[in-house]
Structure 1
Amino acid sequence: MHVKVLIVEDELVVRNGISNFIKDMGQPFVLIGTASNGEEALKIIQAHSPHIIITDIKMPKMDGLTLVKSVKKMYPEIIFAILSGYADFTYATKAMRYGVSDYLLKPINKEVFGTTLNRLMAEVVKGSIKYSHLLQNQPKWDMGLIRLESDLLDCVEMANQSGLNDKAQLFIGEIRKRSQNDTIKAIPYLTDFLVSLRKRVITNDEIRGFIEPIIEKTIESLVPETDFSKIVEKVHRLLDSSVYIVSQYKKTGSPDLTIRCKEIMDANYNKEISLQEVAEIIGVSAAHLSRVVKKELGKNFTEYIVDLRMEKAKNMLETTKFKVMDISKTVGYESPDYFSRIFKRQCGLTPQDYRSQFLIKGGQK
């Protein structure tokens, strides 16, 4: 599924900036066009039927709120986010009354924008005709159920077949209990879960091509089913298939993510390299890579880089006579003072004290 986005903004610099954000995010987002006012936007909307519209409030000819009001009457399924440089609660509340889903303030932070766009995409998926009848009267999820779902999704994402059945039984068992074995009450929970599964595991086109049709088929098959045991069987079959597909992709589609990530971090630990950059090199999302690194290495990306730098620094303090300022630059810190603070926080001693202690002990740790 492609999520079509339209930008409506009269300031060229802002319009181009947001357009670049969307292009950088890549699939499933597709920028179908830009407009400088509401009148231009209406023509594009009629021609291309966007899923999401991000519009400024203050514009010539037709402002953002008028655009929202007009479009919502004709296309109530379109998701809106309002963009404005005016941090005015009145605008926000008025926009929400018109059916706007989110409110962004200029200047736009790329990370915040990405989070917002993903949240809007979730609304698109849940609001589509295919799913809307399944998600009516959607029950609330508390933290206990969210944790069970997260554990189960982790098993699929990591292709952990051994842990899958136990996690699935716990999760489905909790849904059965909450729905009192009533399939009508359980289906919204399960559909919501399958939408989450779709977003979590479909990280590239290859996996999408295999798993997405199975998820679609499973969601569609839930509606007429009244036998809870058959519903559970269908969900288990989907989960088993998903784990198998992910495991095969890990074996044949690309080397193990953790190994690839470690290789890149080990080779570039002394440079300014970000999780996003490493994820782009490997070809996965930054969020997915972050979860994998934390799960497999027991520490996040930044912690791993810092620990690696400290190990390299300790080795140089033990085996060379380099000055602290030279070691600092070698392991990636321009400021020796900052390096010394990090080193002491990590190792309990200043670099000078560490070297002195090592020499006193005769080179024995």
Structure 2
Amino acid sequence: MKKLRVLLVDDEIMIREGFKRLFDWGAHDCEVVGEAADGMEALAKIDALAPDIAVMDINIPIMNGLKVIQLARIKHPDMAFVIVSGYDDFSYCREALRLKITDYILKPVDYEEFGTCIDNLKIALFRRQSTKEADEQEERPINRLTRYLQEHLAEEISLSVLADEFHLSAQYISQLFKSEIGVNFLAYLTNIRMEKAKQLLLSTSLSIGEVSEQSGYGDYRVFTKVFKKSEGITPSQYRRDFLEKEN
């Protein structure tokens, strides 16, 4: 899998240097290709460098980060954005959601949390790209595998199940996920199950047990444990926080 190209946008040079020195981009299949200190420079660098991801603060000079994203989307609709900000303000979060920003992380940055964000983003970008490629060429094995996972998410799924279904070896399937997506099979499966769970928690009134089952976890206690490890809070708290912010 090719490395994802990253642009860092923050008016504080120490923040940008911190991201470069304290976060292991290579371990997450990424490389920093440029930096910008204000909104206008950010737009120029986006046009010149065509990064896959921009990691940016909201409060930057000349043009704020949200405006940069809004304008950049016109020419670069598939580009991903991660907001890293000192503002814990729901109005910003709501605007970020409207602009389909991948994640919103508060300063000071927890680099473990940031790493999880980047890995999830890598998966999302792969899924988007594979959907496009499926329309342009004969479907590759990895695309067939990931589509099967989406369609059978609530069922018991393992490498052996996929091996039987597609007449491939479990070892080959495992290698495909690592080489094509950049994460192992279990990490990918957990990610899409968590995304499904979050969608159900916010858009339905299903009980936690029902959300657990529809997300592929027969035991809601296991589901709660995995969800908390992924999101930092329990499913109930995730839903409660969203409802409180909405009201």
TM-score range, shorter chain: 0.5 to 0.7
* Superposition deviation, residue 2 in structure 1: 1.3
1:68·1:80 contact (CA, 8 Å) conserved in 2? yes
Work out the CA distance in 2 between the residues paired with 1:244 and 1:18. Answer: 30
* Superposition deviation, residue 25 in structure 1: 4.3
1:23·1:30 contact (CA, 8 Å) conserved in 2? no
Work out the CA distance in 1 between the residues paired with 2:104 and 2:120. Answer: 12
2:92 alignment partner in structure 1? 91
Q: Which runs of 5+ in 1 are unaligned?
A: 153-163, 173-231, 246-284, 292-365
% identity of equivalent residues: 28
Alpha-carbon distance change, 58 to 140 in structure 1, aligned in 2, over 3 angstroms: farther
1:120 alignment partner in structure 2? 121
Find the partner of 2:163 among 160, 165, 168.
168
Alpha-carbon distance change, 112 to 241 in structure 1, aligned in 2, over 3 angstroms: closer
Q: How do 1:106-117 residues align onto structure 2 when only pairs under 5 Å count?
A: 106-117=107-118
Structure 2 counterpart of 1:126, which letter? Answer: R
Work out the CA distance in 1 between the residues paired with 2:118 and 2:171. Answer: 30
Alpha-carbon distance change, 27 to 98 in structure 1, aligned in 2, over 3 angstroms: closer
Q: TM-score scaled to structure 1, two decimals?
A: 0.41
Find the partner of 1:141 among 153, 165, 168.
153
Structure 2 counterpart of 1:130, which letter? Answer: E
1:125·1:131 contact (CA, 8 Å) conserved in 2? no
Q: Report whether the alignment pairs 1:15 with 2:55.
A: no
Higher helix residue share: 1
2:58 alignment partner in structure 1? 57
Alpha-carbon distance change, 242 to 34 in structure 1, aligned in 2, over 3 angstroms: same
Work out the CA distance in 1 between the residues paired with 2:87 and 2:119. Answer: 23
Alpha-carbon distance change, 39 to 243 in structure 1, aligned in 2, over 3 angstroms: closer
2:79 alignment partner in structure 1? 78
State which structure, 1 or 2, has the greater radius of gyration over its C-alpha atoms.
1
1:22·1:31 contact (CA, 8 Å) conserved in 2? no
Show CA shifts across 1:64-100 (max 9, x none): 0001101111111001111110101110111110121
Work out the CA distance in 1 between the residues paired with 2:107 and 2:135. Answer: 33
Alpha-carbon distance change, 141 to 76 in structure 1, aligned in 2, over 3 angstroms: same
Q: TM-score scaled to structure 2, two decimals?
A: 0.59
* Superposition deviation, residue 130 in structure 1: 2.3
Greater relative contact order structure (CA < 8 Å, 6+ sep): 2
Structure 1 counterpart of 2:55, which letter? Answer: I
Q: Which runs of 5+ in 2 are unaligned?
A: 137-142, 177-181, 188-247
Work out the CA distance in 1 between the residues paired with 2:106 and 2:36. Answer: 19
Q: How many residues align?
A: 168
2:9·2:54 contact (CA, 8 Å) conserved in 1? yes
RMSD: 3.2
1:26 alignment partner in structure 2? 27
